[in-house]
Structure 1
Amino acid sequence: MTYRYRIASIFLLGFFIDCINIFMSAIALPAIADDMQISIVSVTWVSNSYILGLTLIIPLSHWLSQRFGIKALMVTSMLMFSLSVALVGYSHSFIELIFWRFIQGVSGGLLIPIGQALTFQYFQGHERSKISTLIMAIALIAPAISPTLGGFIVDVVSWRWVFYSNIPFSLITAFLAFIWVKEPLPKENAIPDIKGIILISLIIVSGLFALSAYGEYHSILLALVIAVLSTIFAVLYYYHYRRHSSPVINLALLKNRNLSLSIFIYYCIPGVFTGVNILAIFYLQQYLKFTGQGTGIFMLLYALGAFISMIISGALYNKLGMKRLFIIALLLHSIGISLLTFVNSNTDIPLLIIAYLIIGVGGGIGANTAQTTALYDFSAKKLVQASVIWNINRQVVFSVGATMVAMLFNIFSLFCLPQTAYSMTFLICALIGILPLTLLLTLKKKVITQEIQDEF
C-alpha cells in the first residue's frame, strides 16, 4: 500500500468511527430515554453534545497539528477517544453522559479535518472525485452494520455496550497512525483564532438551545430570546472576521458557489435524514413495537441503496455534472421520506423496505456529490480553510436536523394523535428536503466555479 493510501485509510477509519457514533448511538436513544427518564428533545443532546465537541475542536486541529505534529495529534486523538467513550458507557446520570460525550467529540474532532485535508493534499484534481467516492463508500460500512449491530447489543445487553464497542476501532486507528504517519513537523505555527472559535461555538449552542426550548417547553418567548442571542453572536463574529487577519472561518470562501451550495444541500439531505431517522427509530420501537435489532435492519437497506448509488454517482460525476446529480438526489430522498407517512402498523414492512432503499439511493447520491463538489475548487491553504468549514458544517447539520425534527414532532403532538404527529413531521421533512431545487433549477449549464482571490 502506498503512503497516500495509508493516510487515506487512517482518515477512513476516523470517519468510520464518527459514523458509528451517529448511527449506532441513534438506535440506543429510546433505551437511554427510558433508562434516564428524558424526552425525545432532551435525548437528542446525546448526539448534540458529541457534535458540539467536534465543532469546538475542529478549528483548533490545524494549529495543534502545526504545534505538536500530525502524527502526535492523530495518536493522541484516538487514545483520548478510547478513554472518553468508555466513560460515556459508564455514565449513571444524564449530565455525566452529556459531559463525556462532549469530551468524546473533542477527541474525535482532532483527527477528521486533518486527515481529510492531508488525504486531499495527496489526491489532486480529478482524483478527488475518485477518493471522495472511496471515502464515502467505505464509510458506508458503518451505517450499514452499526444500527443492526447496535440494536442487537441494546436488545441483548444494554445501551452502554453500544459505546464500549467503539473502543477497538479507535485503538486500531491510534496504532496505525503511530506506525504509518511520517509527516514532518511544519515550520509555520500560526496562533489560533480563540475569540472566533468561542463566538462560533456560542452561535451553534444558542441556536440549538433555541430549537430545544421551543420543542421542549413550547415557549415562543424563550426561544426568541435565545435566537436573538444567537443572531447577536453571529453579528459579533462577522465584525471579528472583518478585523482578524486569519479568522477561524474564512467567510470569503462561502462566495464559492460549489461550497455554499453543497453546504445547503447537506442540511437538506444528511441533516434532514438524521432527524427523520431518529424519529423513525422512536416510531418503530415505541409505537409500532419493533425490536432494536429489527429497527436497525432498515438502516442496512438504507446503506445498501446509498452504497450502490455512491459508486454510480462517483463514476458519473464528471459526465452528468453536479446539478443533475443533486436534482436526482433531492427528489429521490424526499420521495422516500414521504413514503414513511403511509406506515401505520408493523405489517407495513414492504413499504418500509422501499422507503429506506429510496432514501438511501437519494442520500448516497447527494452526500457523495456534495463531498466532491464542496472542496473541488480549493488547494493548499484554502483547502485547509475550506475543510474546516466543511467539517464543521458536516457535524452541525446532524445536530440541527435531529433537534429541528424533534421540535416539529413535539409541536404536532400538542394538537394531534401520536401517529398523525409522526406522519405530519415526516411530510414536512420531505418538503424541506426539496428546498434546494429552487436554486438548482436556476443554475446555468456551464460549470459553476469561482476563484477565491488571495486578498480574501
Structure 2
Amino acid sequence: MSYRYKVASIFLLGFFIDCINIFMSAVALPSLSATLQVSSASVAWVANAYILGLTLIIALSTWLAARFGSREILTASMLVFSGSVWLCGQADSFHELVIWRFVQGIGGGLLIPVGQALTFNLFHGEQRAKISTLIMAVALIAPAMSPTVGGLIVDISSWRWVFYSTLPFSLLAAGLSWWWVREGKTAELQRPDIKGLLLVSAVLASLLMGMSLYGGDYPPLAALGFVIAGLTFIALYLLHYRRCSNAIIDLSLLRSRKLSTSIFIYYAIPGVFTGVNLMSIFFLQNTLHFSARLTGMFMILYAIGAFIAMILCGRVYNRTGARRLFTLGMLLHSAGIATLVLVNAPTDLWLIMIAYSLMGIGGGIGANTAQTTSLMDFTGGDTHKASVIWNINRQMSFSLGAALFLMIFNVLLPPLGTTPAYQATFAIAALVGLLPLLQMNQLPCAKERP
C-alpha cells in the first residue's frame, strides 16, 4: 500500500469511529435516559459534551500537529479517546458520563481534521472527488451497521457496552498512526489563538445551553440569557478576529463560495437529519414502543439510499456540478422528513421505511456533494485552516440540529400532545432543510474545470 493510502486509511478509520460514536450512542439514549433518570432534553448533553470537547480541540489541531508532530498527535488522540470510552462505560451518574464524554471529544477531535488535511494534501484535483467518495462510503457503512448493532446491544445487554464496543477501533487507529505516519514537527510555529478558542467554545456552549433549557422545566429568561450570551460571544469573536493576525478560525476562507455553501448545506441536511433522527428514535421507542434493535434497523434503509446517492454523485459530479446536486439532495431529504409527519401508529411501518429511504438518498447526495466541494479551493496550509472550519462546522451541525429540534418539540408538547408535537417538529424540520435553496444561484450550474 502506498504512503498516501496508508494516511487515507487512518483518516477513514477515524471518520468511521466518529460516525459510529454518533449513531450508535444515539439509539441508546432512551435506555440511558431511563436508567439514569434524566429527561430527553438533558440526555442530549451526552452528545453535546462530546461536541464541545471536539470544538475545543479541533481549532488547536493544526498548531498541535505542527508543534508535536502529526504521528504523535494522532496516536495520543486515539489513546485518550480509548481511555475516556472505557470510563464512559464505567460512569455511575449522568454528570460523570457527561464529563467523560467531554474528554472523549477532546481525544477524538484531533484525528479527523489532522488526518483529513494530511490526506487532502496527498490527493489533488480530481483525486479529491475520489477520496471524498471513499469518505462517504465510510459514512454509509457506519450509519448502516452501528444503530442496528447498538440497538441489539441495548436490547440484550446495556447501554454501557455501546461505548465499550468502539475500543478495538480506536486502539487500532492509535497503532496505525504510530507505525505509518511520517510527518513530523514544523520548524516555524505561530502562537495558538487561545482567546479565540475560548470565545468559539463559549459561543457553542451558550447556544446549546439556551436551546436545551428553553421549553424545559426552566424559566424562559434563563434560556434567553444563554442565547444572548452566545450572540455576545459571537460579536466578541468578530472584534477579536479583526485584531488578531492568526485567529483560530480564519473567517476570510469563507469568501470561498464552495466552502460557505457546503457549510450551509451541512446544517440543512446532516445537521437537520441528526435532530430528526434523534426525535424519531424517541418517538419510535417511547411512543410507538418499537425495540431499540428495530429502531436502529431503519438506518440500514438510510444507508442503502445513501449508497445509491454515492454512486450517483461519483459518476455525475464532474458533469452536473454542485448546484444541481445540492438542490436535488435537499428536495429528496425534506420529502423524507415530511413523510414522517404521516406516521401515527406501529402499523405505519412502510411510511417509516419510505421516509428513511428518501432521507438516505437526499442526505447522501447533499453530504457527499458538500464533502467533495468544501475544500476544492484550497491547497497547502490553507487546506489545514479550511479543514478546521469544515470539521468544527460538521460537528456543530450535529449538536445544534439535535438541540434545536428537541427545543421545538418541548415547546410544542404542552399545547399539542405527544404524537402531534412529534409530527409538527418533523414538518418544521422539512422546511428548515430547504433554506439553502435561497442561495443556490451563488454556485455555477456545472463544475469548474481545474
**TM bin (shorter chain):** over 0.9
Q: Is the 8 A contact 2:62 2:385 kept in 1?
A: no
Which residue in the other structure is 2:15 paired with? Answer: 15
C-alpha deviations, 1:193-212, integer Å up to 9, x for none?
10000000001100111111
- 2:266 corresponding residue in structure 1: 266
Aligned CA distance change for structure 1 residues 250 and 119 (closer, same or farther; 3 Å): same
1:294 is aligned to 294
- Report the Cα distance in structure 2 between the residues aligned to 1:50 and 1:443, rounded to whole angstroms: 33
Contact 1:69 1:184 survives alignment (8 Å): yes
**Separation in 2, partners of 1:446, 1:47:** 37
Structure 2 matches for 1:76-91, cutoff 5 A? 76-91=76-91
Cα offset for 1:339? 0.3
Q: Which runs of 4+ in 1 moved over 6 A?
A: none
Q: SS of the residue aligned with 2:163?
A: helix
Q: Which SS does the other structure have where 2:341 is aligned?
A: helix
Instruction: After TM superposition, list the pairs within 5 Å mapping 1:234-313 onto structure 2.
Output: 234-313=234-313
1:257–1:448 Cα contact (<8 Å) kept: no
Residue identity opposite 2:222 in structure 1: L
273-282 or 302-311, which deviates more: 302-311
2:369 matched to which residue of 1? 369
8 Å Cα contact 2:275-2:406 kept in structure 1: yes
Shift of 1:189: 2.0
Distance in 2 between the 1:67 and 1:429 partners? 42
Range that drifts further, 312-321 or 154-163: 312-321
The DSSP-based 3-state class of the residue aligned with 1:15 is: helix
SS in 2 for 1:50: helix
- Structure 2 CA distance for aligned equivalents of residues 444 and 74 of structure 1: 37
Letter in 1 for 2:232: I
Superposed, which structure 2 residues align to 1:42-441 within 5 Å?
A: 42-217=42-217, 219-441=219-441
AA aligned to 1:79 is L
Kindly state the Cα deviation for residue 448 of structure 1 after the two structures are TM-superposed.
7.6
SS at match of 2:345: coil
Question: Structure 1 counterpart of 2:410, which letter?
Answer: N
Distance 1:74 1:348, change over 3 A: same
CA contact (8 A) 1:25 1:162 kept: yes
Give the C-alpha shift of residue 442 in structure 1: 6.2
TM-score, length-normalised on structure 2? Answer: 0.98
Q: Given residue 168 of structure 1, which amino acid in structure 2 is its aligned partner?
A: P
| CA displacement, residues 253-283 of structure 1 (integer Å, 9 cap, x when unaligned) | 1111111111111001000000000110011
Between the aligned partners of 1:6 and 1:446, the Cα distance in structure 2 is 33
**How far apart in 1 are the matches of 2:408 and 2:8?**
39
Residue type of the partner of 1:63?
W
**Secondary structure of 2:415's aligned partner:** coil
- Alpha-carbon deviation of 1:218? 5.7
Aligned CA RMSD, in angstroms, stands at 1.3
Q: Distance in 1 between matches of 2:368 and 2:405?
A: 23
Residue by residue over 1:371-412, the C-alpha shift from the partner in whole angstroms, topping out at 9 and shown as x without a partner, is: 111111011111111110000000000010000010111111
The aligned amino acid for 1:279 is M
1:346 Cα deviation (Å)?
Answer: 1.2
User: Counterpart of 1:210 in structure 2: which amino acid?
Assistant: G
Deviation of 1:216 after TM superposition, in Å, equals 1.9
Post-superposition CA distance 1:416-455 (Å, at most 9, x none):
1211111111011001111111111565546589xxxxxx
In structure 1, stretches of 5+ residues that fail to align are 450-456
| Counterpart amino acid of residue 109 in structure 2 | G
Quote the Cα distance in structure 2 between the aligned partners of 1:167 and 1:65.
23
1:53–1:106 contact (8 Å) kept in structure 2: yes
Q: Which runs of 5+ in 2 are unaligned?
A: none
How many residue pairs get matched? Answer: 449
Q: Distance in 2 between matches of 1:162 and 1:445?
A: 44
Distance 1:118 1:442 in 2: 29
The answer on whether the counterparts of 1:28 and 1:150 sit within 8 Å (CA) in structure 2 is yes
Work out the percentage of aligned pairs sharing the same amino acid.
56
Amino acid across the alignment from 2:25: S
Report the Cα distance in structure 2 between the residues aligned to 1:234 and 1:315, rounded to whole angstroms.
Answer: 40
Alpha-carbon distance, 1:232 to partner: 1.3
Residue 446 to residue 287, structure 1, CA distance change in 2 (3 Å): closer
In the TM superposition, residue 139 of structure 1 has moved relative to its aligned partner by 3.0
Specify whether residues 444 and 115 from structure 1 end up closer, same or farther in structure 2 by C-alpha distance, changes over 3 A only: closer
Give distance in 1, aligned partners of 2:9 and 2:308: 21
Q: Secondary structure at the match of 1:385?
A: helix
Deviations 1:184-232 (A, max 9, x none): 3221222111000000000110011111121323643222222211111
SS at match of 2:195: helix
Which residue identity does 2:217 align to in structure 1?
A: Y
SS of equivalent to 1:431: helix
Q: Distance in 1 between matches of 2:346 and 2:268?
A: 28
C-alpha distance in 2 between matches for 1:74 and 1:446: 37
Q: Does the aligned pair in 2 maintain the 1:137–1:311 contact within 8 Å? A: no
Paired with 1:293 and 1:348, the residues of 2 have a C-alpha distance of 17
Residue 351 (structure 1) shift: 1.3
